[in-house]
Copies of this chain bind each other. A is one copy, B any other.
Protein backbone atom coordinates (compact mmCIF):
# COMPACT_ATOMS: atom_id res chain seq x y z
CA UNK A 1 0.00 0.00 0.00
CA UNK A 2 2.66 2.52 -1.07
CA UNK A 3 3.23 4.67 -4.13
CA UNK A 4 6.43 4.68 -6.16
CA UNK A 5 7.68 7.50 -3.99
CA UNK A 6 7.53 5.25 -0.95
CA UNK A 7 4.39 6.89 0.35
CA UNK A 8 1.69 4.80 2.00
CA UNK A 9 -1.61 4.90 0.11
CA UNK A 10 -3.52 6.51 2.93
CA UNK A 11 -4.39 10.04 3.97
CA UNK A 12 -2.86 11.81 6.99
CA UNK A 13 -4.70 14.68 8.63
CA UNK A 14 -3.90 16.77 11.69
CA UNK A 15 -6.58 16.30 14.34
CA UNK A 16 -6.29 19.95 15.41
CA UNK A 17 -6.15 21.94 12.16
CA UNK A 18 -7.12 19.36 9.55
CA UNK A 19 -4.01 19.95 7.46
CA UNK A 20 -3.20 17.05 5.13
CA UNK A 21 0.32 15.60 5.38
CA UNK A 22 2.39 13.37 3.10
CA UNK A 23 1.99 9.73 4.19
CA UNK A 24 5.67 8.93 4.49
CA UNK A 25 6.49 5.83 6.51
CA UNK A 26 8.24 8.00 9.10
CA UNK A 27 5.55 10.68 9.31
CA UNK A 28 5.28 12.42 12.67
CA UNK A 29 3.20 15.24 14.17
CA UNK A 30 1.87 18.42 12.49
CA UNK A 31 4.48 21.16 12.96
CA UNK A 32 1.87 23.92 13.18
CA UNK A 33 1.32 23.25 16.88
CA UNK A 34 3.49 23.28 19.99
CA UNK A 35 5.12 20.03 21.04
CA UNK A 36 3.19 16.88 20.27
CA UNK A 37 -0.26 18.45 20.13
CA UNK A 38 -0.73 18.07 16.40
CA UNK A 39 -1.29 14.30 16.32
CA UNK A 40 -2.07 12.98 12.85
CA UNK A 41 -4.94 10.69 11.98
CA UNK A 42 -4.79 8.06 9.23
CA UNK A 43 -7.57 8.13 6.65
CA UNK A 44 -8.03 4.80 4.87
CA UNK A 45 -9.49 5.20 1.38
CA UNK A 46 -12.99 3.74 1.18
CA UNK A 47 -12.77 1.97 4.53
CA UNK A 48 -15.63 -0.29 5.44
CA UNK A 49 -16.44 -3.75 6.65
CA UNK A 50 -14.36 -5.76 4.23
CA UNK A 51 -12.94 -8.61 6.27
CA UNK A 52 -10.69 -11.02 4.41
CA UNK A 53 -9.82 -14.55 5.34
CA UNK A 54 -7.40 -15.98 7.86
CA UNK A 55 -6.62 -15.81 11.51
CA UNK A 56 -3.86 -13.16 11.42
CA UNK A 57 -5.45 -9.71 11.67
CA UNK A 58 -2.74 -8.10 9.52
CA UNK A 59 -3.80 -10.45 6.70
CA UNK A 60 -7.50 -10.45 7.42
CA UNK A 61 -7.88 -6.68 7.59
CA UNK A 62 -5.13 -5.74 5.19
CA UNK A 63 -7.38 -3.43 3.16
CA UNK A 64 -8.08 -1.36 6.29
CA UNK A 65 -4.45 -0.98 7.39
CA UNK A 66 -1.49 1.22 6.39
CA UNK A 67 0.59 -1.81 5.43
CA UNK A 68 3.37 -1.66 2.85
CA UNK A 69 2.97 -3.79 -0.30
CA UNK A 70 4.69 -7.09 -0.85
CA UNK A 71 5.34 -10.04 1.40
CA UNK A 72 5.01 -9.66 5.16
CA UNK A 73 8.16 -9.73 7.31
CA UNK A 74 6.57 -11.30 10.37
CA UNK A 75 5.23 -14.79 9.67
CA UNK A 76 1.51 -15.08 9.17
CA UNK A 77 0.12 -16.23 12.51
CA UNK A 78 2.51 -14.10 14.56
CA UNK A 79 -0.64 -12.18 15.43
CA UNK A 80 -3.76 -14.28 15.85
CA UNK A 81 -7.43 -13.50 16.30
CA UNK A 82 -7.84 -13.35 20.08
CA UNK A 83 -10.96 -14.95 21.54
CA UNK A 84 -14.10 -13.12 22.68
CA UNK A 85 -15.24 -15.23 25.61
CA UNK A 86 -18.58 -15.15 27.40
CA UNK A 87 -18.14 -14.84 31.16
CA UNK A 88 -21.60 -15.57 32.60
CA UNK A 89 -20.48 -15.73 36.24
CA UNK A 90 -18.83 -12.33 35.95
CA UNK A 91 -21.91 -10.96 34.19
CA UNK A 92 -24.01 -12.10 37.15
CA UNK A 93 -21.63 -10.40 39.59
CA UNK A 94 -21.80 -7.16 37.66
CA UNK A 95 -25.55 -7.29 37.10
CA UNK A 96 -25.53 -7.22 33.30
CA UNK A 97 -27.18 -9.63 30.90
CA UNK A 98 -24.01 -10.62 29.13
CA UNK A 99 -20.32 -9.96 29.61
CA UNK A 100 -17.84 -10.91 26.90
CA UNK A 101 -14.09 -10.73 27.46
CA UNK A 102 -11.77 -9.88 24.59
CA UNK A 103 -8.63 -11.59 25.89
CA UNK A 104 -5.62 -9.70 24.54
CA UNK A 105 -3.28 -11.55 26.90
CA UNK A 106 -3.25 -14.26 24.20
CA UNK A 107 -1.09 -12.06 21.99
CA UNK A 108 2.53 -13.10 21.35
CA UNK A 109 4.08 -11.12 24.19
CA UNK A 110 0.92 -10.92 26.28
CA UNK A 111 -0.69 -7.59 25.42
CA UNK A 112 -2.74 -5.64 22.89
CA UNK A 113 0.41 -3.63 22.12
CA UNK A 114 1.63 -6.54 20.00
CA UNK A 115 -0.80 -5.36 17.35
CA UNK A 116 0.85 -1.97 16.90
CA UNK A 117 4.39 -3.29 17.32
CA UNK A 118 3.79 -5.83 14.54
CA UNK A 119 2.67 -3.01 12.25
CA UNK A 120 5.69 -0.92 13.25
CA UNK A 121 8.03 -3.77 12.33
CA UNK A 122 6.37 -4.22 8.93
CA UNK A 123 6.65 -0.49 8.17
CA UNK A 124 10.21 -0.10 9.42
CA UNK A 125 11.51 -3.21 7.68
CA UNK A 126 9.87 -2.20 4.40
CA UNK A 127 11.48 1.22 4.54
CA UNK A 128 14.91 -0.25 5.25
CA UNK A 129 15.30 0.70 8.90
CA UNK A 130 17.46 -1.68 10.93
CA UNK A 131 16.61 -0.23 14.37
CA UNK A 132 13.33 0.75 16.05
CA UNK A 133 13.23 2.96 19.14
CA UNK A 134 10.68 3.17 21.92
CA UNK A 135 10.47 4.79 25.36
CA UNK A 136 8.49 2.51 27.64
CA UNK A 137 8.87 0.26 30.64
CA UNK A 138 5.93 -1.86 29.83
CA UNK A 139 3.93 -3.64 27.18
CA UNK A 140 4.89 -1.37 24.27
CA UNK A 141 8.57 -2.09 24.86
CA UNK A 142 8.26 -5.85 25.31
CA UNK A 143 5.99 -6.19 22.29
CA UNK A 144 8.46 -4.24 20.16
CA UNK A 145 11.38 -6.30 21.45
CA UNK A 146 9.59 -9.56 20.63
CA UNK A 147 8.55 -8.56 17.12
CA UNK A 148 12.04 -7.21 16.38
CA UNK A 149 13.63 -10.47 17.50
CA UNK A 150 11.31 -12.43 15.22
CA UNK A 151 12.49 -10.56 12.11
CA UNK A 152 16.04 -9.56 13.04
CA UNK A 153 15.66 -5.84 13.70
CA UNK A 154 17.24 -4.13 16.71
CA UNK A 155 14.89 -2.79 19.40
CA UNK A 156 16.27 0.30 21.16
CA UNK A 157 14.41 0.72 24.45
CA UNK A 158 14.76 3.79 26.69
CA UNK A 159 13.59 3.40 30.28
CA UNK A 160 14.08 5.44 33.46
CA UNK A 161 17.00 4.05 35.48
CA UNK A 162 14.64 3.49 38.42
CA UNK A 163 12.58 0.90 36.50
CA UNK A 164 12.03 -2.24 38.61
CA UNK A 165 14.30 -5.06 37.36
CA UNK A 166 11.32 -7.42 37.08
CA UNK A 167 9.92 -5.34 34.24
CA UNK A 168 13.11 -5.75 32.24
CA UNK A 169 13.16 -9.55 32.18
CA UNK A 170 11.02 -9.87 29.07
CA UNK A 171 13.13 -7.26 27.26
CA UNK A 172 16.28 -9.15 28.16
CA UNK A 173 14.79 -12.42 26.87
CA UNK A 174 14.24 -10.84 23.46
CA UNK A 175 17.75 -9.36 23.35
CA UNK A 176 16.57 -5.74 23.21
CA UNK A 177 19.16 -2.97 23.51
CA UNK A 178 17.95 -1.32 26.71
CA UNK A 179 19.26 1.99 28.02
CA UNK A 180 18.60 2.93 31.64
CA UNK A 181 18.28 6.71 31.50
CA UNK A 182 19.13 8.70 34.65
CA UNK A 183 15.99 10.78 35.06
CA UNK A 184 12.23 10.65 34.72
CA UNK A 185 10.07 8.91 32.14
CA UNK A 186 9.86 12.20 30.28
CA UNK A 187 13.67 12.39 30.17
CA UNK A 188 13.75 8.90 28.68
CA UNK A 189 11.02 9.81 26.21
CA UNK A 190 12.68 12.95 24.88
CA UNK A 191 16.10 11.28 24.70
CA UNK A 192 14.50 8.46 22.69
CA UNK A 193 13.00 10.95 20.24
CA UNK A 194 16.27 12.79 19.88
CA UNK A 195 18.29 9.60 19.44
CA UNK A 196 15.86 8.13 16.90
CA UNK A 197 16.30 11.26 14.80
CA UNK A 198 20.06 11.45 15.27
CA UNK A 199 20.81 7.79 14.54
CA UNK A 200 18.15 7.07 11.91
CA UNK A 201 16.02 4.71 14.00
CA UNK A 202 12.33 4.15 13.30
CA UNK A 203 10.16 5.72 16.01
CA UNK A 204 7.63 3.35 17.61
CA UNK A 205 6.25 5.88 20.06
CA UNK A 206 2.48 5.95 19.53
CA UNK A 207 2.46 9.60 20.51
CA UNK A 208 4.14 10.68 17.28
CA UNK A 209 3.73 7.73 14.91
CA UNK A 210 0.27 8.03 13.36
CA UNK A 211 0.17 4.53 11.91
CA UNK A 212 0.46 2.51 15.09
CA UNK A 213 -3.07 3.22 16.25
CA UNK A 214 -4.25 1.39 13.14
CA UNK A 215 -2.59 -1.76 14.49
CA UNK A 216 -4.56 -1.47 17.71
CA UNK A 217 -7.65 -0.89 15.61
CA UNK A 218 -7.58 -4.55 14.53
CA UNK A 219 -8.75 -5.49 18.03
CA UNK A 220 -12.01 -3.65 17.36
CA UNK A 221 -12.32 -5.08 13.85
CA UNK A 222 -12.13 -8.55 15.37
CA UNK A 223 -14.66 -7.68 18.09
CA UNK A 224 -17.07 -6.45 15.43
CA UNK A 225 -16.63 -9.64 13.38
CA UNK A 226 -17.07 -11.79 16.48
CA UNK A 227 -20.18 -9.91 17.62
CA UNK A 228 -21.73 -10.00 14.17
CA UNK A 229 -25.20 -8.60 13.68
CA UNK A 230 -26.07 -9.04 17.35
CA UNK A 231 -23.63 -6.25 18.20
CA UNK A 232 -23.36 -5.13 21.80
CA UNK A 233 -24.29 -2.19 23.97
CA UNK A 234 -20.89 -1.27 25.37
CA UNK A 235 -17.18 -1.89 24.93
CA UNK A 236 -15.26 -1.15 28.10
CA UNK A 237 -11.54 -0.40 28.26
CA UNK A 238 -9.09 1.42 30.52
CA UNK A 239 -7.57 4.67 29.24
CA UNK A 240 -4.04 5.96 29.76
CA UNK A 241 -2.58 7.86 26.82
CA UNK A 242 -5.88 7.63 24.95
CA UNK A 243 -4.57 5.77 21.93
CA UNK A 244 -6.23 2.40 22.59
CA UNK A 245 -9.73 3.72 23.23
CA UNK A 246 -9.46 5.94 20.15
CA UNK A 247 -8.37 2.96 18.08
CA UNK A 248 -11.27 0.85 19.35
CA UNK A 249 -13.74 3.59 18.47
CA UNK A 250 -12.25 3.98 15.01
CA UNK A 251 -12.34 0.23 14.33
CA UNK A 252 -15.90 -0.25 15.54
CA UNK A 253 -17.09 2.65 13.39
CA UNK A 254 -15.34 1.25 10.30
CA UNK A 255 -17.12 -2.08 10.63
CA UNK A 256 -20.59 -0.47 10.48
CA UNK A 257 -22.41 -2.94 12.70
CA UNK A 258 -26.20 -2.75 12.85
CA UNK A 259 -25.73 -2.04 16.56
CA UNK A 260 -22.36 -0.37 17.21
CA UNK A 261 -21.38 -0.56 20.88
CA UNK A 262 -20.75 2.63 22.84
CA UNK A 263 -17.34 3.06 24.46
CA UNK A 264 -17.01 3.00 28.23
CA UNK A 265 -13.68 4.77 28.80
CA UNK A 266 -12.33 4.07 32.28
CA UNK A 267 -9.56 6.01 34.01
CA UNK A 268 -8.03 5.41 37.45
CA UNK A 269 -9.05 8.26 39.75
CA UNK A 270 -5.35 8.93 40.38
CA UNK A 271 -4.58 9.43 36.68
CA UNK A 272 -7.72 10.83 35.09
CA UNK A 273 -6.80 13.89 33.03
CA UNK A 274 -8.89 12.80 30.03
CA UNK A 275 -11.91 11.92 32.16
CA UNK A 276 -11.55 15.33 33.80
CA UNK A 277 -11.59 17.03 30.41
CA UNK A 278 -14.67 14.98 29.49
CA UNK A 279 -16.42 16.10 32.67
CA UNK A 280 -15.58 19.72 31.88
CA UNK A 281 -16.79 19.25 28.31
CA UNK A 282 -13.60 20.36 26.60
CA UNK A 283 -10.70 18.73 24.71
CA UNK A 284 -7.93 20.14 26.87
CA UNK A 285 -6.53 17.42 29.12
CA UNK A 286 -4.69 19.26 31.88
CA UNK A 287 -1.63 17.25 32.99
CA UNK A 288 -1.71 15.75 36.48
CA UNK A 289 0.79 13.86 38.61
CA UNK A 290 -0.28 10.28 38.02
CA UNK A 291 -0.81 8.18 41.14
CA UNK A 292 -2.29 4.74 40.55
CA UNK A 293 -1.16 1.13 40.88
CA UNK A 294 -2.51 0.44 37.39
CA UNK A 295 0.89 1.09 35.84
CA UNK A 296 -0.08 0.41 32.24
CA UNK A 297 -2.53 3.34 32.28
CA UNK A 298 -0.67 5.57 34.75
CA UNK A 299 -0.34 8.55 32.41
CA UNK A 300 -0.38 12.08 33.79
CA UNK A 301 0.17 13.93 30.51
CA UNK A 302 -1.75 11.97 27.86
CA UNK A 303 -0.79 12.60 24.25
CA UNK A 304 -3.88 11.28 22.52
CA UNK A 305 -6.56 12.98 24.58
CA UNK A 306 -8.20 14.67 21.61
CA UNK A 307 -8.59 11.46 19.64
CA UNK A 308 -9.83 9.63 22.73
CA UNK A 309 -12.43 12.24 23.65
CA UNK A 310 -13.76 12.44 20.10
CA UNK A 311 -13.99 8.67 19.71
CA UNK A 312 -15.95 8.28 22.94
CA UNK A 313 -18.24 11.19 22.09
CA UNK A 314 -18.83 10.09 18.49
CA UNK A 315 -20.21 6.72 19.58
CA UNK A 316 -22.38 8.10 22.40
CA UNK A 317 -20.11 6.65 25.07
CA UNK A 318 -18.94 7.93 28.43
CA UNK A 319 -15.96 8.29 30.75
CA UNK A 320 -15.95 7.03 34.32
CA UNK A 321 -13.21 6.96 36.97
CA UNK A 322 -12.48 4.18 39.46
CA UNK A 323 -10.35 3.90 42.58
CA UNK A 324 -7.33 1.61 42.94
CA UNK A 325 -9.28 -0.51 45.43
CA UNK A 326 -12.02 -0.97 42.84
CA UNK A 327 -9.37 -1.95 40.27
CA UNK A 328 -7.88 -4.58 42.58
CA UNK A 329 -11.32 -6.01 43.25
CA UNK A 330 -12.00 -6.05 39.50
CA UNK A 331 -8.78 -7.99 38.89
CA UNK A 332 -9.79 -10.43 41.61
CA UNK A 333 -13.19 -11.20 40.10
CA UNK A 334 -11.76 -11.41 36.57
CA UNK A 335 -9.46 -14.15 37.82
CA UNK A 336 -11.81 -15.99 40.13
CA UNK A 337 -15.10 -15.61 38.23
CA UNK A 338 -13.89 -15.67 34.61
CA UNK A 339 -10.50 -17.40 34.74
CA UNK A 340 -8.67 -14.49 33.14
CA UNK A 341 -5.49 -13.22 34.81
CA UNK A 342 -5.31 -9.51 33.94
CA UNK A 343 -2.82 -6.84 34.90
CA UNK A 344 -4.42 -4.06 37.01
CA UNK A 345 -4.73 -1.68 34.07
CA UNK A 346 -6.47 -4.42 32.11
CA UNK A 347 -8.98 -4.97 34.91
CA UNK A 348 -9.88 -1.33 35.41
CA UNK A 349 -12.55 -1.54 32.72
CA UNK A 350 -14.42 -4.13 34.80
CA UNK A 351 -14.41 -1.73 37.74
CA UNK A 352 -15.76 0.82 35.30
CA UNK A 353 -18.61 -1.47 34.27
CA UNK A 354 -19.59 -1.88 37.91
CA UNK A 355 -19.46 1.88 38.41
CA UNK A 356 -21.45 2.58 35.25
CA UNK A 357 -24.02 -0.04 36.23
CA UNK A 358 -24.42 1.55 39.66
CA UNK A 359 -24.89 4.96 38.06
CA UNK A 360 -27.52 3.58 35.66
CA UNK A 361 -25.39 4.28 32.61
CA UNK A 362 -25.29 0.55 31.86
CA UNK A 363 -28.60 -1.29 32.24
CA UNK A 364 -29.36 -4.81 33.51
CA UNK A 365 -30.24 -6.05 30.01
CA UNK A 366 -27.05 -4.76 28.40
CA UNK A 367 -24.52 -6.83 26.52
CA UNK A 368 -21.04 -5.64 27.44
CA UNK A 369 -17.61 -6.35 25.96
CA UNK A 370 -14.53 -5.79 28.12
CA UNK A 371 -11.05 -5.66 26.65
CA UNK A 372 -8.35 -7.30 28.79
CA UNK A 373 -5.40 -5.41 27.36
CA UNK A 374 -2.55 -7.29 29.06
CA UNK A 375 -1.56 -10.36 31.06
CA UNK A 376 -1.31 -10.38 34.82
CA UNK A 377 1.78 -12.60 34.65
CA UNK A 378 4.00 -9.58 34.06
CA UNK A 379 2.98 -7.81 37.26
CA UNK A 380 2.30 -10.84 39.45
CA UNK A 381 3.42 -10.31 43.03
CA UNK A 382 4.67 -13.37 44.95
CA UNK A 383 2.09 -14.86 47.30
CA UNK A 384 2.09 -17.86 49.58
CA UNK A 385 1.49 -16.85 53.16
CA UNK A 386 -2.20 -16.57 52.33
CA UNK A 387 -2.51 -20.32 51.82
CA UNK A 388 -2.84 -22.83 54.66
CA UNK A 389 0.19 -24.97 55.47
CA UNK A 390 -0.79 -28.48 56.53
CA UNK A 391 0.71 -31.77 57.67
CA UNK A 392 0.50 -34.52 55.01
CA UNK A 393 -2.58 -36.16 56.51
CA UNK A 394 -6.20 -36.48 55.49
CA UNK A 395 -7.31 -34.97 58.79
CA UNK A 396 -5.33 -31.83 58.01
CA UNK A 397 -7.02 -31.62 54.60
CA UNK A 398 -10.41 -32.12 56.22
CA UNK A 399 -9.81 -29.25 58.62
CA UNK A 400 -9.07 -26.94 55.69
CA UNK A 401 -12.03 -28.15 53.62
CA UNK A 402 -14.42 -27.75 56.55
CA UNK A 403 -13.25 -24.18 57.04
CA UNK A 404 -13.84 -23.45 53.35
A residues whose Cβ falls under 8 Å from a Cβ of B: 55, 75, 77-78, 80-81, 83-87, 89, 103, 106, 108-110, 145-152, 161, 163-166, 168-170, 172-175, 177-183, 187-188, 190-191, 194-195, 198-199, 331-332, 335-341, 375-378, 380-394, 397-398, 400-401, 404
Given A180-B390, A336-B149, A397-B199, A174-B341 contact (CB < 8 Å): yes
Q: Are B110 and A146 in contact (CB under 8 A)?
A: no
A206 CB to nearest chain B CB (Å): 20
Q: How far is the CA of A299 from the CA of B24 in the complex (A)?
A: 55
A121 CB to nearest chain B CB (Å): 10
Q: Are B182 and A389 in contact (CB under 8 A)?
A: yes
Q: Are B89 and A83 in contact (CB under 8 A)?
A: no
Q: Are B147 and A339 in contact (CB under 8 A)?
A: yes
Q: How far is the CA of A48 from the CA of B164 in the complex (A)?
A: 51
Q: Are A106 and B106 in contact (CB under 8 A)?
A: yes
A110 CB to nearest chain B CB (Å): 7
CB-defined contacts of A388 to chain B, threshold 8 Å: 179-180
CB-defined contacts of A164 to chain B, threshold 8 Å: 382, 384
Cβ-neighbour of A170 out of B75, B103, B150, B377 (below 8 A): B377
Q: List 7 A-B contacts (CB under 8 A).
A: A55-B81, A106-B108, A168-B382, A173-B341, A182-B390, A190-B392, A199-B401
A215 CB to nearest chain B CB (Å): 16
Q: Are B80 and A380 in contact (CB under 8 A)?
A: no
CB-defined contacts of A166 to chain B, threshold 8 Å: 380, 382
CB-defined contacts of A391 to chain B, threshold 8 Å: 181-182
A339 CB to nearest chain B CB (Å): 3
Closest 4 CB pairs of A and B: A175-B336, A150-B339, A165-B384, A77-B83
Q: How far is the CA of A183 from the CA of B149 in the complex (A)?
A: 42
Q: Are B149 and A339 in contact (CB under 8 A)?
A: yes
CB-defined contacts of A81 to chain B, threshold 8 Å: 55, 80
Nearest-CB residue, chain B, relative to A110: B377
Q: How far is the CA of A320 from the CA of B254 in the complex (A)?
A: 53
Cβ-neighbour of A165 out of B175, B341, B375, B382 (below 8 A): B382
Q: Are B383 and A168 in contact (CB under 8 A)?
A: yes
A224 CB to nearest chain B CB (Å): 16
Nearest-CB residue, chain B, relative to A401: B199
Q: How far is the CA of A331 from the CA of B170 in the complex (A)?
A: 12
CB-defined contacts of A335 to chain B, threshold 8 Å: 149, 173-175
Q: Which of A106, A149, A152, A195 has the most CB of B within 10 A?
A: A149
Q: Are B404 and A180 in contact (CB under 8 A)?
A: no
Q: How far is the CA of A110 from the CA of B145 in the complex (A)?
A: 19
CB-defined contacts of A106 to chain B, threshold 8 Å: 80, 106, 108
Q: Are B108 and A188 in contact (CB under 8 A)?
A: no
Q: How far is the CA of A190 from the CA of B392 in the complex (A)?
A: 9
Given A380-B169, A380-B173, A390-B181, A397-B191 contact (CB < 8 Å): yes
Q: Are B191 and A394 in contact (CB under 8 A)?
A: yes
Q: How far is the CA of A389 from the CA of B180 in the complex (A)?
A: 4
Q: How far is the CA of A146 from the CA of B394 in the complex (A)?
A: 25
A344 CB to nearest chain B CB (Å): 11
Q: How far is the CA of A183 from the CA of B400 in the complex (A)?
A: 17
Nearest-CB residue, chain B, relative to A100: B75
Q: Are A80 and B83 in contact (CB under 8 A)?
A: yes
Q: How far is the CA of A375 from the CA of B391 in the complex (A)?
A: 32
Given A335-B174, A339-B147, A339-B148, A392-B182 contact (CB < 8 Å): yes
Q: Are A336 and B181 in contact (CB under 8 A)?
A: no
Q: How far is the CA of A109 from the CA of B377 in the complex (A)?
A: 9
